[in-house]
Amino acid sequence: MFALLRSIINAGADLDQHRRRYVVNTNVYALVVIFVSLPYPFVYLYLHVDIDPILLAGGLIFTSIYSTVIFLNYLKAHTLAKILFFLTVVVQLFILSILFGKDAGLEQFFYAAFVGIFFVVDRYQKILIIPALAILMIEYLLIQYIQAHTTPFVPVEPDTAQIVRYLTGGAVYFTLGAQCMYFYWGNLRGEIALEKARSQSENLLLNILPKPIAEELKRTGVVEPVEHDSVTVVFTDFVGFTASSESRNPADLLRDLDDCFSAFDAIIDKYGLEKLKTIGDAYMFAGGVPQDLEDNAAKCVQAAHEIIQYVEARREQNPRFWKIRVGMHTGRLVAGVIGRKKFIYDVWGDTVNTASRLEAAGEPGRINTSTQTHALIQKKFVCTYRGDIPVKGKGPLPMYFVDGAKTQ
């Protein structure tokens, strides 16, 4: 029974989420009108109201028309279904209100009809709303005028009229209550879905941008570039990745790379550092952006050590696994957001270029640093001076390998 009812309610509702809701609404309203209309002929018979059999047959005709509305939705003729539904309601209300007069109170159904328009007309058919409301208003005023100047075509006793009025009032309030309840639960579901979508979009934005930058972007719509005096930029690069990519299964290769970068993400999060981007098999992060970070050079060294240890652990399981080089440099740079459709938080300046050169000039399994970074970490870490190493575009640069933390 419930499966049949569900299939009737969802007849022709295989559309996008917005239009689907209004098709379902139309089907539900058609069923509600059928449900509300069916008892009236039996009530009239029970109360011995003198009604022509043709009028009783008319109730069945209207019921069949409302059933046709659902069938038209099933055939995907949604606009035609709504027009037929509206015209049937207009004609039925007019006929019944004139036949039974004001005492029966059947014009109360106009209240439900006014509200119902907004539940069945979707945004693609919004041009129908104003004409529909105008027609209902004119019809309601016309019925009031006719009732005031004519006698009912089907006279009923006062007691009978009162019972019919009670029945009509109950039916109207039932319909209005169902409409309001449906609106309430639909609105509640919409709020929950909107909140979920907002949370997902914010989480997605935080995956792309640092939290302070994301907040500024949401608040102002733009992110002003900021110059930072002391930022440590770190580059890592896998040795042998390009060669292995030519012989290994691509899916396995990317799975290993994803595992490594996910582990790197967790490591730098632990030290309050900021991931900037990945370029192929290269991983770039920094300490001191977007907000200043005390002792950022030392924290970058600690994170780099853990990254190397993670890669070495993978190599113990698989000797053919890649090795990794790490290079870092501390200095001034500019940080900001670029892009309109695809945002990216990035850093620019000679500090970035120098850190990249230090990584390229390093050795697998070692952290290669500049003089500037060495000056900031030498009290905490043991370093080995390598001498002045020629660097493309910059000439000889003094470099240091970080051997490990000093014992207290």
- Three-state SS annotation for 231-286: EEEEEEEEECHHHHHCCCCHHHHHHHHHHHHHHHHHHHHHCCCEEEEEECCEEEEE
Would you state the structure tokens that stand for residue 275, as one six-digit string? 């991931």
- Across the range 234-249, mean pLDDT stands at 82
The amino acid that residue 9 corresponds to is I
Cis peptide before 41 (omega within 30 of 0): no
Q: What percent of the chain has pLDDT over 90?
A: 36
Would you state the structure tokens that stand for residue 45, as one six-digit string? 């018979």
Distance CA 9, CA 31 (A): 8
Would you state the structure tokens that stand for residue 382, as one six-digit string? 């043991």
In this predicted structure, what is the pLDDT of residue 165? 81
Query: What is the CATH number assigned to the segment(s) 225-405?
Result: 3.30.70.1230
Cβ-based neighbours of 292, under 8 Å, separated by 6 or more: 228, 230
In this predicted structure, what is the pLDDT of residue 377? 94
Q: What DSSP designation does 102 have?
A: G
Ranked by mean pLDDT, which of 22-26, 68-72, 125-129 comes out on top? 68-72
In this predicted structure, what is the pLDDT of residue 22? 84
Domain with CATH 3.30.70.1230 in the chain: 225-405
Using a 10 angstrom Cβ sphere, with 0-12 exposed, 13-18 middle and 19 or more buried, the burial of residue 192 is exposed
- Across the range 9-38, mean pLDDT stands at 80
Task: Output the pTM of the full model.
Answer: 0.60
